[in-house]
C-alpha cells in the first residue's frame, strides 16, 4: 500500500507512454494510448489504498504495461484469453486494450485484486468477464490462449491446461524460456521467443499446447 494523495494524474501517464513506447518498438493508436494511461491512472490510485503492486514509481508501471503490450500481436484473432495470475491486470489488460477483438478472462486468487480487475472492466468497458479465482473454474477447451507474467510454479499451475483448446497457445513473460520449456515438456512446445527491447534477460515465450 502506498500513501494516498500522491498518485500521478492521467496526463502524466499519457506523457510517460508517449516518451517510452518508441523504445519498445511500439506505435500506439492515440485512443489505445489514452486507454492505457487511464488504466494505469486507476491502478496508481488503487495501489495507494490496497496492496496491488510494489512501492515503485509510476514510470515503472508504464514500463510494465508497455512490456505487456509487446505480446498483443501474438494472440490469435478473436481468441478467448485467460490471464493467469493476473494480479493488477498485467499483461492481460494492456493486451485487451490493444486487441479489442479478444475476450479476456482474468484469473486471480486474491480478492482485492479481483475487485480492482472488476472495477477496471466496469469503468473502461473492456471485453472481459469478472475475474475468477482459479483456472479450475474455466470450462474445458474454452480458451484459445493463455497469458502469464511472473507467475511462480507456472508449470504446476497450468498442469495439462484442459481449459485450452487442443492446440491452444500459451504466452509467458519470462527470463528463462528454455528452462520453462523443459518444465512444460510433453505438454507444450516452444514455438518462438521475442526479446523485450532494452532488457538483457526479459523475453516473451510463445508455446503451443501438444494435443493429448
Domain architecture of the chain: domains with CATH: 10-209 (3.40.50.150)
Q: Per-residue pLDDT for 26 more than 60?
A: yes
What does the pLDDT read at residue 8? 76
What does the pLDDT read at residue 73? 98
Residues 11, 14, 17: CA angle, nearest 5 degrees: 150
Q: What number is the average pLDDT over the span 32-54?
A: 92
Separation CA 14–CA 181 (nearest Å): 37
- For the record, the C-alpha cell of 68 comes out as 505487456
61-91 pLDDT tens trace: 999 999 999 999 999 999 999 999 999 999 9
Q: What number is the average pLDDT over the span 116-122?
A: 97
Q: Per-residue pLDDT for 3 more than 70?
A: no
Longest dimension (CA), the chain: 52
Q: Per-residue pLDDT for 5 more than 80?
A: no
- Whether pTM > 0.85 for this model: the answer is yes
132-185 pLDDT tens trace: 999 999 999 999 999 999 777 899 999 889 999 999 999 999 999 999 999 999
Q: Per-residue pLDDT for 4 more than 70?
A: no
Could you give the 3-state DSSP secondary structure of residue 61? helix
Per the DSSP assignment, residues forming a β-bridge with 80 are: 103
Which of 48-57, 90-99, 125-134, 195-204 has the weakest average pLDDT?
48-57
Amino acid at each position: 500500500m502506498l500513501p494516498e494523495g500522491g498518485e500521478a494524474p492521467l496526463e502524466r501517464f499519457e506523457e510517460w507512454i508517449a516518451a517510452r513506447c518508441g523504445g519498445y518498438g511500439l506505435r500506439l493508436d492515440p485512443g489505445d494510448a489514452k486507454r492505457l494511461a487511464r488504466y494505469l491512472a486507476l491502478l496508481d490510485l488503487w495501489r495507494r489504498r490496497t496492496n496491488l503492486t510494489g512501492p515503485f514509481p509510476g514510470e515503472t508501471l508504464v514500463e510494465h504495461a508497455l512490456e505487456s503490450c509487446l505480446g498483443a500481436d501474438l494472440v490469435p484473432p478473436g481468441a478467448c484469453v485467460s490471464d493467469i495470475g493476473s494480479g493488477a491486470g498485467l499483461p492481460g489488460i494492456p493486451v485487451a486494450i490493444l486487441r479489442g477483438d479478444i475476450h479476456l478472462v482474468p484469473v486471480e486468487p486474491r480478492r482485492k485484486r479481483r475487485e480492482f480487475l472488476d472495477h477496471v472492466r466496469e469503468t473502461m468497458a473492456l471485453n472481459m468477464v469478472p475475474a475468477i479465482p482459479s483456472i479450475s473454474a474455466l470450462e474445458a477447451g474454452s480458451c484459445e490462449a493463455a497469458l502469464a507474467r511472473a507467475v511462480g510454479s507456472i508449470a504446476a499451475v497450468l498442469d495439462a491446461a484442459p481449459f485450452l483448446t487442443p492446440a491452444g497457445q500459451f504466452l509467458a513473460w519470462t527470463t528463462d524460456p528454455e528452462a520453462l520449456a523443459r518444465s512444460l515438456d510433453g505438454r507444450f512446445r516452444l514455438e518462438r521467443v521475442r526479446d523485450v527491447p532494452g532488457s538483457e534477460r526479459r523475453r516473451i515465450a510463445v508455446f503451443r499446447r501438444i494435443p493429448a
